[in-house]
A and B are shown apart, each in its own frame.
Chain A
Amino acid sequence: MKKFVNDPANFVPEFMAGVLAANADLLEGNLEFQMIKRKTIDASKVAIVQGSGSGHEPAHVMAVGPGMLTAACQGPVFAAPPVDACYETIKAAATDAGVLVLVNNYQGDRMAWDMACEMAEAEGIKLKQFIINDDVAVQDSLYTVGRRGVAGNFFVMKAAGAAAEAGADLDAVYAVAEKVNANVRTMGVALTSCIPPQKGDVIFDIGDDEMEVGVGIHGEPGRERTKIKPADDITKLLYDAVQSDLPFSSGDRVALMVNGLGGTPPAELYVVYNKAAKLAAETGLTIARNYVGEYCTAIEMAGVSLTMLKLDAELEELLAAPAETACRIF
Chain B
Amino acid sequence: MSTLTIADVEQAIDITCDTVIRNEKYFSDLDGLAGDGDFGTSLATGFKVIKADLPTIDKSAVGAMLLKISMICSKHVGGSSGPIWGTGFMRAGMASKGMTEIDYATLVAMVGSALEGIMARGGAKRGDKTLLDALIPIHETMQAMDGSDLKAVLAAVAGVADKAIDETRNLVAHRGRASQVGERSANTPDPGIVGIATILNDWCKHYGVDFVPNAPELNR
Contact = CB atoms under 8 A, between A and B. Distances in A.
B67 A83 contact: no
B90 A84 contact: no
Contacts of B67: 119
A1 interface: no
B75 A83 contact: yes
Highest count of chain A CB atoms <10 Å: which of B74, B75, B121: B74
Highest count of chain A CB atoms <10 Å: which of B75, B83, B86, B94: B83
Contacts of A87: 71
A122 B67 CA distance: 12
Contacts of B94: 122
Given A111-B80, A112-B83, A118 B75 contact: no
A114 B82 CA distance: 13
Interface string A84-108: 1001000000000000000000010
A107 B97 CA distance: 28
B121 A111 contact: yes
A115 B87 contact: yes
Interface in B68-104: 70-71, 74-75, 80, 82-83, 86-87, 90, 94, 97
A111 B90 contact: no
Contacts of A122: 94, 97
Contact of A112 (B74, B90, B97, B117): B74
A114 B121 contact: yes
Contacts of B80: 107, 111
Contacts of B71: 82-84, 87
A87 B97 CA distance: 17
A267 B74 CA distance: 43
Contact of B83 (A84, A111, A119): A111
Contacts of A112: 74, 83
B90 A82 contact: no
Contacts of A111: 74, 80, 82-83, 121
Nearest to A81: B75
Interface in B47-64: none
B204 to A, nearest CB: 31
A112 B90 CA distance: 12
Contacts of A114: 83, 121
B199 to A, nearest CB: 22
A5 B121 CA distance: 36
B75 A82 contact: yes
Contacts of A115: 70, 74, 83, 86-87, 90, 121
Nearest to A122: B94
Nearest to A116: B74
Contacts of A83: 70-71, 74-75, 83, 86
Nearest to B83: A111
29 contacts: A82-B71, A82-B74, A82-B75, A83-B70, A83-B71, A83-B75, A83-B83, A83-B86, A84-B71, A84-B74, A84-B75, A87-B71, A107-B80, A111-B74, A111-B121, A112-B74, A114-B83, A114-B121, A115-B70, A115-B74, A115-B83, A115-B86, A115-B87, A115-B90, A115-B121, A118-B90, A118-B117, A119-B67, A119-B90
The 9 closest A-B pairs by CB, nearest first: A111-B83, A83-B74, A82-B75, A84-B71, A122-B94, A115-B74, A84-B75, A83-B71, A115-B87
Given A84-B71, A118-B90, 19 more contacts: A82-B71, A82-B74, A83-B74, A83-B75, A83-B86, A84-B74, A87-B71, A107-B80, A111-B74, A111-B80, A111-B82, A111-B83, A111-B121, A114-B121, A115-B74, A115-B83, A115-B87, A119-B67, A119-B90
